[in-house]
Structure 1
């Protein structure tokens, strides 16, 4: 598969990422004095499983790292199943290609559970903020619905199918298989 073909397959995903990033950037500007999340803060970074579309995007970014960095990450992936192997000295090595869960973690997520509205965010963030506007929140159900649709479109392009979820450590080398 060529770079261009993969770009085409990932277009819906990159469009969704752009929309999520625009929301997070706006929120970061409005609440910049109330956010603890920053480079080096990695308490929420765990070894995750991803939708195939996210795994391929992540693998592509991983393949573009220099060889020593890739080797470090692969070695870390063998040593733990809890911490994200993409962290080197508390910094994500593929930050620009991080999955949606990583992009949104710590920010206000709106969801409904049993008909009851709920908001979740990192307890280190938004200290002193009395009330968040609904516009500040990402609708988790809507975002998951969009991500699922994007993923379903992506996997439909593979004749042999793909697994439902792919752990980060297994995602790292997917790009080489194309």
Structure 2
């Protein structure tokens, strides 16, 4: 992997670390009000990803054992709705999951048509009367940072990449770059 690609992957992993730190803090503070846990996969869908996230996912996929990779590839051919990376309701590349998967279910702050909005899984935060602003991830800010990291990644990779890559097409991307 060229040095520039390694550096931009570090930019991505740094962003993921910041998101994870926020989510871990939130999980500690609100542990009694979270339904999200291993095996809960209702929100896991077949997504399209930025190339930088597709690359990270593909790298993790390449490290799985052959039977697991074969199962995932078979599942990817069977559906375009459920995430093919789920095997028995468990994400096989959980540590490399995209930012959208890391944040789903947790409070996301966004503005739409000038109005502040907060979105999170309706199964979470039951009984919580009010969330602090510090509990919320700013979706616009995360998307801006992710877009910048992705643009840098694309500039460092010599292969022409599309703007978005579906998960099933991302699986075997790693060896190609």
TM-score by structure 1 length?
Answer: 0.95
Question: Runs of 5+ in structure 2 lacking a partner?
Answer: 1-5
Aligned residues: 172
SS for the counterpart of 2:156 is coil
SS for the counterpart of 1:162 is coil
Q: Which aligned segments of 4 or more residues in structure 1 are displaced greater than 4 angstroms? A: none
Moved more, 153-162 or 24-33: 153-162
CA distance in structure 2 between the partners assigned to 1:167 and 1:100 by the alignment = 15
SS for the counterpart of 1:161 is coil
SS for the counterpart of 1:111 is strand
TM-score by structure 2 length?
Answer: 0.96
> Aligned-pair distance for 1:119?
0.1
CA distance in structure 1 between the partners assigned to 2:143 and 2:7 by the alignment = 21
Question: Runs of 5+ in structure 1 lacking a partner?
Answer: 1-6
Q: In the alignment, which residue of structure 2 is the partner of 1:103?
A: 102
SS for the counterpart of 1:46 is coil
> Aligned-pair distance for 1:8?
2.8
CA RMSD, 1 decimal: 0.7
CA shift digits 1:140-165 (9 cap, x unpaired): 00000000000000000123421000
CA distance in structure 2 between the partners assigned to 1:9 and 1:33 by the alignment = 37
Instruction: Give yes or no for contact 2:8–2:149 (8 Å, CA) kept in 1.
Output: no
